[in-house]
Chain A
Amino acid sequence: MFPFTYHRPVELASAHALLVANEEAKLLAGGQTLIATLKQRLASPSDLVDLARVPGLTGIAREGGALVIGAMTRHAEVAASQQVAAAIPALADLAGRIGDPAVRNRGTLGGSIANNDPSADYPAACLGLDATIVTDRRELAAGDFFLGLFETALEPDEIILSVRFPIGGTATYAKFANPASRYAMAGAFLWRGEEGVRVAITGAGQNGVFRWSAAETALVADFSPAALVDIGLDGDEMIADIHGSGAYRAHLAGVMTRRAVARILERGSP
């Protein structure tokens, strides 16, 4: 690691002030991505601003028709929450399948979506559930938040406070995990409700998570796995690496989506 100065602010305002005062500062949440990045010297922040002691960033609450989850809420907490299981079971299920127990005990919702890894799980849930990302200065629809590979709409000094997930409809998440890393080789977050159908694909697209609109249109007309058989993703637009080719991932994303449809038809969610 390159040297850095470590800060442990106890107020949101001081966390923000540290980001403004130090152009090369970075926020630290669960550290499950950032610490590995520092070890590999892929990042050299001048300062680390640890959000762990900033009040108001953790917890799960039901507010009207939505579930609001604090940015610093750990994956393990979401996975085990009765409240999440009751309101949006697919979300609890997704959180419980991120990495392994030790990773889930540290990793946070805010860190996961700020990082926007193309194979991460939460971005698919945000897009599939049409969630709203609440920051220290504005609210962003998930569709406007995830911009590309490890890229989001966040300003350098912007802090995610929470995510608001609308309750309603039926959702499920089908994930084919890389057997070594547990990240998604392809994952399909499917939502069906009064407004229609949403399909969010992670793990596959070269620009990160995306809505598969052709599949959504087909499923609105005919909500069945068969409706997707003739619809394919373009393998040239999918990630190709040592774990699988673009064509493989395009195929896998289709399989995951069909499994998700079948699951919703069979037994609701998740």
Chain B
Amino acid sequence: MQTLTLTVNGAAVTLTLDERTLLVELLRDRLRLTGTHVGCDTSQCGACTVHLDGVAVKSCAVLAVQAEGAEILTIEGIGSAEHLHPMQAAFREHHGLQCGFCTPGMIMAGIDIASRHGPAPDEPTVRAELEGNLCRCTGYHNIVLAIQAGARAMGAPSPVSSPAATA
């Protein structure tokens, strides 16, 4: 067992867990943040996408212990029912979802795309960037439109969110 401390959606969390615990299991089973989904558990579908220190990762492919000291942002942390995040609002506006299973991952990936590519990513860019996020329902068309609209609404890219900026 290991004890670890990390920040989840702005709140410090300390817990003791089995080393084998995945980050997604920590979020869903221990913290009951069930907005982050598990579609495949094999790093293919992106339903489990969260941000770790500002960048999108597949939380089914990260051990919880690897996130010691990290800042995790999940779909629960970006907005509320009353105040949707601009990317959430864009998904609603553009019908970027049907069953909604892939949506938390799509939105976290979308915010990551906007933070790296700025307010006007073109369609081929968004499609290429969605390589790791699968949707069984929508055919992607409206997801791409939603991410473009969400990126526009989010405005200029935030300089802190790109680890490569200093490289």
A residues with CB within 8 A of B: 1, 3-6, 8, 28, 31-32, 35-36, 38-39, 48, 50, 52, 59-60, 74, 76-83, 99-103, 105-106, 180-182
Contact = CB atoms under 8 A, between A and B. Distances in A.
B90 to A, nearest CB: 19
A83 B167 contact: yes
Contacts of B42: 36, 39
Contacts of B44: 180-181
A102 B57 contact: yes
Interface in B52-76: 52, 55-58, 61-63, 65-66, 68
27 contacts: A4-B19, A6-B2, A6-B63, A8-B65, A31-B61, A31-B62, A31-B63, A35-B61, A36-B61, A48-B19, A48-B63, A52-B66, A76-B163, A77-B164, A79-B164, A80-B116, A80-B162, A80-B164, A99-B131, A100-B129, A102-B49, A103-B43, A103-B61, A105-B56, A106-B57, A106-B58, A182-B131
Contacts of A80: 116, 162, 164-165, 167
A106 B62 contact: yes
B20 A4 contact: yes
Interface string B93-132: 0000000000000000100110010000000000001011
B151 to A, nearest CB: 14
Contacts of B62: 31, 35, 106
Given A52-B66, A77-B167, A106 B61 contact: yes
A15 to B, nearest CB: 15
Given A79-B164, A100-B132, A32 B43 contact: yes
A102 B58 contact: yes
Contact of B109 (A8, A48, A76, A102): A102
Which of A4, A31, A76, A100 has the most chain B CB atoms inside 10 A of its CB?
A: A100
A180 B2 CA distance: 36
Given A4-B20, A36-B42, A101 B109 contact: yes
Which of B18, B22, B52, B131 has the most chain A CB atoms inside 10 A of its CB?
A: B131
A39 B56 contact: no
Contacts of B43: 32, 36, 103
A59 B63 CA distance: 23
A31 B63 CA distance: 8
A53 B45 CA distance: 29
Interface of B: 2, 18-20, 22, 41-44, 46, 49, 52, 55-58, 61-63, 65-66, 68, 109, 112-113, 116, 129, 131-133, 162-165, 167
Contacts of A100: 46, 129, 131-133
Given A3-B19, A4-B20, A81-B167, A31 B132 contact: no
Given A74-B163, A77-B167, A100-B132, A8 B68 contact: yes
A227 B165 CA distance: 42
Given A8-B65, A32-B43, A79-B164, A105 B55 contact: yes
B132 A102 contact: yes
Nearest to B164: A80
A38 B52 CA distance: 21
A77 B167 CA distance: 7
Given A3-B19, A102-B56, 14 more contacts: A3-B20, A8-B65, A28-B66, A31-B63, A35-B22, A35-B62, A36-B43, A79-B164, A82-B167, A100-B46, A102-B61, A106-B61, A181-B44, A182-B131
Nearest to B2: A6
Contacts of B66: 28, 31, 50, 52
A35 B65 CA distance: 12
Nearest to A106: B57
Contacts of A180: 44
Contacts of B164: 76-77, 79-81
Contact of A1 (B20, B68, B131): B20
Contact of A103 (B2, B19, B58, B163): B58
